[in-house]
Amino acid sequence: MRTIDDLDVAGRKVLVRADLNVPLQDGRITDDGRIRASLPTIETLLARGAKVIVCAHLGRPKGEVRPEFSLAPVAGRLGELLGVRVVFADDVVGASAHAAVGGLGDGDVALLENLRFEPGETSKDDAERGAFADRLAALADVYVGDGFGAVHRKHASVYDVPERLPHAAGDLIATEVSVLEKLTERVERPYAVVLGGSKVSDKLGVIDNLLGKADRILIGGGMVFTFLKAQGHEVGKSLLEEDQLDTVREYLRRAEETGVEFVLPVDVVAATAFAADADHDVVAADAIPADRLGLDIGPESGKLFAARLAGAKTVFWNGPMGVFEMEPYAHGTRAVAQGLIDSGAFTVVGGGDSAAAVRQLGFDEAAFSHISTGGGASLEYLEGKTLPGLQALED
């Protein structure tokens, strides 16, 4: 896979596929982590005299122009962080985009409107997607793929445009791939994996693949209640995927057979309702009241998880331990994050809600070895899947 060091970019129009899919609230960016992660590649290209055209998506507008998904606020924040004016095109491949690109000088940067306003970006029809890719590629001389959070999607800007232009991987993708290789091909053991989030079904593939690779797997978050139910425990009104019980029982059987240690919570925070002000208590994981739902792992589980991370050399974490957005249910996620830091291991936070939790709970991002920008992409890589966006950059 070539990198931007292999490209001649001076005076050339470089289309950078970035991941700027940031959370917005009332038109304001609440977490600019993905924008900041995109800076090194853009800054390098600007310093080398490129005319940089940034393209990205935001949310799921499904091929329609929806103002609430406009990248306009992102253009402002990107300009602040770069310390330069970012020209914003209010369309993707139309008159505004051509005017913005046509006005760029060496070392200037433009941002196109949300790629997903165009139906061709996400189309499953190769011809429709290809036609849009033709128009997007026509804006530039060179392509740089740097949106790791989208490389598991066979979308025009990720998969088809690199076929049409000289291309290379940006710094972010190169770093992400190097880190993921340390989790799959160059693993230092013991290797511990912490999985959380709401649903077991979201993690089926990664659990299946890691059963042959990890030394221990720690389970928290909403998905844990399917594991507890599979062991025969009452889970009350907690989130439960009945259709995954047999699969989970098989995972537990295989883990015992292969010597992989599954670590489940010993206590949980059980509340009367899904609300920060609901009555809640710490109860044993095998004694959740029938009229309550679990919203976090308990304090003893936090200590247990930290202890099981303490001897690890490599740790991958994806998914919060509870509803960390509500303070009463943030303690488990906080304990796991601190456990990663204290372990002294090579630690990877797998993007998405886990990365958001690290920032929201006030941790120093530099305390972790790597914070991924792509939760879904990281998981699919760990499942052993071929990622279209990486495949497109390899040839």
Q: What CATH number does the domain containing 150 carry?
A: 3.40.50.1260
* Any domain includes 395: no
Q: Which two tokens stand for residue 127?
A: 């011809």
Answer for the pair 123, 132: CB distance below 8 angstroms, yes or no: yes
**395 pLDDT exceeds 80?**
no
Are 218 and 278 members of one domain? yes
Q: Are 109 and 46 in contact (CB under 8 A)?
A: yes
> Which residues on neighbouring strands pair with residue 29, listed in sequence order?
24
| Residue 378 is labelled as binding a ligand | no
Could you give the 3-state DSSP secondary structure of residue 61?
coil
34 labelled catalytic = yes
Residue 102, domain extent: 4-174
Residue 13 annotated among the catalytic residues of the structure:
no
> 133 lies in a domain?
yes
- 318 marked as binding residue: no
Beta bridge partners of 293: 271
For residues 175 and 155, what is the distance between their CA atoms, to the nearest angstrom?
Answer: 22
The residue from 135, 182, 199, 359 that is catalytic is 199
| pLDDT of 42 | 98
Least Cα distance to 270 among 262, 279, 261 occurs for: 279
Q: Is there a binding annotation on residue 59?
A: yes
pLDDT confidence band for 201 (50 / 70 / 90): confident
Do 148 and 259 lie in one domain? The reply is: no
* Domain count across the chain: 2
Active site (annotated) includes residue 199: yes
Residues 224, 338 share a domain: yes
Do 291 and 201 fall into the same domain?
yes
Same domain, 168 and 242: no
- Mean pLDDT of the 3-14 span: 96
pLDDT tens across 159-175, in order?
Answer: 999 999 999 999 999 99
pLDDT bin (cut points 50, 70, 90) of residue 10 is very high
For the chain, the average pLDDT equals 95
Q: Is 107 annotated as a binding residue?
A: no
Of 393, 346, 355, the residue nearest 181 (C-alpha):
346
Q: Are residues 239 and 284 in the same domain?
A: yes
Q: Which amino acid is at 243?
A: D
Tell me whether residue 146 is annotated as binding: no
**Residue 353 labeled ligand binder:** yes
379 within some domain: yes
One domain for residues 53 and 168: yes
pTM attached to this predicted model: 0.88
Same domain, 200 and 159: no
Q: Does residue 392 belong to any structural domain of this protein?
A: no
Question: Of 322, 332, 350, 352, which residue is the catalytic one?
Answer: 352
Among the listed residues 13, 17, 34, 216, the single catalytic one is: 34
User: What pLDDT was estimated at residue 376?
Assistant: 85
pLDDT, tens digit, for every residue of 334-357?
999 999 999 999 999 987 789 889
Q: What is the structure's pLDDT at 353?
A: 87
What the block records as the tokens of 195 is 């999985």
